[in-house]
Copies of this chain bind each other. A is one copy, B any other.
Amino acid sequence: MVTVMAAPDAPRGRPRDSRAHQAILTATAELLAEAGYAATSIGAVAARAGVGKDTVYRRWSGKAELVYEAVFTQTEAVPVPDTGTLRGDLTVLLDALVREFTAPGAAAALPGLLADFAARPELRARIRSQFLAPAKSRLVELFERAVQRGEADPDLPVDLVLDTLAGAVFFHTGLLGEPAGPQLAAQLAAIVGRGIEAR
């Protein structure tokens, strides 16, 4: 009897090449920015990464999952600094959102990617739980401060406010392609911010 329970999942066989993983993600991001979402096929990604298609399919189940990871992974959600006012906090949050949506790869990927997610029920649920989760936690934190100041109602429909903010930024910049700067964040904060202040 030799090591009966030798590690539940002892890694047998040739281990995966860790460089391939990153090479694929990099190739995906580059292709998105250069050729757009539609032209970013699995085959094209594999060729650019110097990898067989098999190697891509072994790690991701499809184009939507791959693109999601390539674009929305290394964005660390910094907590919103306390500016002292609801509108100031909102401006900061929106500014980060605008920058995230207008990054070179994201701008090209978002419309097609969200359409793919929306079309498949099992992926659709992940829009809220993955795309929006970081922003929501920051929005909640921001609201709680505003409520403590008596600046906002405690029973706001947070999800709907978040959908409004994300929808506005996505529609304006992602779909219409309007130029987006800090000014956009300030204007949106003005429109939505005053709407949710306690009367």
A77 proximal to B (CB < 8 A): no
A128 proximal to B (CB < 8 A): yes
Contact status B112-A176, CB under 8 Å: no
Chain A contact residue count (CB 8 A cutoff): 42
**Which A residues from 162 to 199 make CB contacts under 8 A with B?**
163-164, 166-172, 174-178, 184, 187-188, 190-197, 199
* Least Cβ–Cβ distance between A186 and chain B, in angstroms: 11
**Residues in chain B near residue A157, CB distance under 8 A:** 187
A81 proximal to B (CB < 8 A): no
* Least Cβ–Cβ distance between A146 and chain B, in angstroms: 14
- Tally of this chain's copies: 2
Contact of A118 among B111, B127, B190 (CB under 8 A): B111
**Which A residues from 26 to 55 make CB contacts under 8 A with B?**
36-38
A160 proximal to B (CB < 8 A): yes
**Residues in chain B near residue A174, CB distance under 8 A:** 118
Contact status B164-A192, CB under 8 Å: yes
**How distant is the Cα of A170 from the Cα of B124 in the complex, in angstroms?**
14
Identify 29 residue pairs between A and B in the complex whose beta-carbon atoms are under 8 Å apart, listed by A's number: A37-B115, A111-B114, A111-B119, A112-B115, A112-B119, A118-B174, A118-B177, A124-B175, A160-B184, A160-B188, A161-B191, A163-B171, A163-B172, A163-B176, A164-B167, A164-B171, A164-B188, A166-B171, A167-B169, A168-B168, A171-B171, A191-B195, A191-B196, A193-B195, A194-B195, A194-B196, A194-B197, A194-B199, A195-B196
